[in-house]
Amino acid sequence: MSMFGLSHNWTLIVWTVITIVFLILFIAKFKWNPFVTLLLSALLLGFLTGMKPLDIVDSVTKGLGGTLGTIAIVIGLGTMLGKMMAESGGAEQIATTLVNRFGEKRVHWAMMIVGFIVGIPVFFEVGVILLIPIIFTVARKTKMSLLQIGIPILAGLSTVHGLVPPHPAPMIAIDAYQASLGPTILYSLIVGLPAAIIAGPVFGKWIGKRIKVEPPAQLAEQFSASNDKELPSFGLTLFTILLPVILMLIGSVATIIDPQAVHGFTVFCEFIGHEIIALLIAVVFSFFSLGFSRGFTKEQVSKFTSECLAPTATIILIIGGGGAFKQVLITSGVGDAIAQIATSAHINIIIFAWFVAALIRVATGSATVAMTTAAGIIAPVLALNPSANVELVVLATGAGSIVLSHVNDAGFWMVKEFFNMTVPQTLKSWTVMETLLSVISLILILGLSFIV
């Protein structure tokens, strides 16, 4: 590599650092809208790196459209599935059944499983809103500390958000790195479950004894107003939520057995196993299993599915903005520059992916922004490292994106308000839990990389 090439690479990196500082400053300090800031950062990076003005616009639209192609549908359908579960009382049914099954002594283990299952189709914030009633209900029934029940649920939700497909966040990285869905799901469970156990039930029990909090009075009252309607059955609710995962696994298994898709049946399995089709089937099924069969009218079901989409608009736009920024990183040659420098320095790509995502996460506060931006930086590095295990790099990026949630993260304030905690209490409980999850996952991913 020539001296010029090297200095040119470093120039590109300097411009990227300036742009990322701009991005962070405007989101964190000046509280600008992340979508607008991401678009401005993409333009700024394009101009600084010497791209032609119209090429920059081209990259922005291509990146935004390309990223949202699948993700927008996944988020929309996942949110509808979550909403049907909340309105039908399915979430409450799962909580009640698990408390009865596991007994009060082990209820915090059950709560982690609830977070894990419910988090599959929905974004973290949506998951918290869905599950807060369960946390308050269980805390009231068992007289246990709110954090002892809440932390395991939050750990389950966070793990799925960062690591487990078909959640939209890992799907961003799977898409960017062209990883296989089946192995990623398998590895994410091997890594995610132990991490969630330590950061959830184990840490939750310890911290629950040290920080005593009462739920906010008005909220507790609102959620404990019991519905007189009969709840849907546990089995049916569980089947409805897990249906997209089951269909995706069927698709992956079919691909493994018949990689050339010789049989028509394999093609069919791959079709129903595609994340969009799997979620669509599950949502339509939920209209019947958790909607009409529960006595809701078609107007009510239509109202539920429309009103739940409004809050997702922001998330969808931010992911699109991240995609635009990612595309400019790639088109301007910054991605290649980082790739060449990282490769010549022989950095372990799993640690590199975790570190890049972690830096952006700590700086911007958004796991989703961290995931999309890091994907753009790491994808070219992967292209130069054909021997790397792509699926583990997806997980490392996801693990980095959930580290150290603090005052610039919307999730931080959400947890603080719902649990009625002070900022120091939230840092000691929620922030420590997120960091434990991230670091334990990284250690397990590195361990797996020696085996697979």
Residue 333, phi-psi category: left (phi > 0), alpha (psi -120 to 50), beta (remainder): left
Structure tokens at 440: 């334990």
Identify whether the C-beta of residue 158 lies closer than 8 Å to the C-beta of residue 116: no
Mean pLDDT in order along the chain per 10 residues (452 residues): 66 86 80 87 92 93 83 80 80 77 81 80 68 74 79 90 80 85 87 91 85 67 56 87 81 78 85 87 92 89 84 76 81 76 77 86 74 83 83 92 76 74 83 92 92 82
Distance CA 384, CA 394 (A): 16
Q: Which amino acid is at 124?
A: F
Q: Are the beta carbons of 23 and 37 closer than 8 angstroms?
A: yes
Structure tokens at 54: 């119209």
Neighbour count for residue 348 (Cβ, 10 Å): 14
- The domains of the chain are located at 3-451
How many other CB atoms are there within 10 angstroms of residue 368's CB atom? 23
Q: What is the pLDDT of residue 364?
A: 67
Burial of 362 (0-12, 13-18, 19+ CB in 10 A): middle
Helix locations, 25-123, DSSP H: 34-48, 53-88, 90-102, 107-119
What confidence score (pLDDT) does residue 63 get?
Answer: 85
Q: How many other CB atoms are there within 10 angstroms of residue 110's CB atom?
A: 23
- In angstroms, the CA 317 to CA 373 distance is 14
Neighbours of 224 (CB within 10 A): 14
Q: What is the model's pLDDT at position 56?
A: 94
CB distance 179 to 166 below 8 Å:
no
Number of Cβ within 10 Å of residue 407's Cβ equals 13
pLDDT of residue 225: 45
CB 133 within 8 A of CB 91: yes
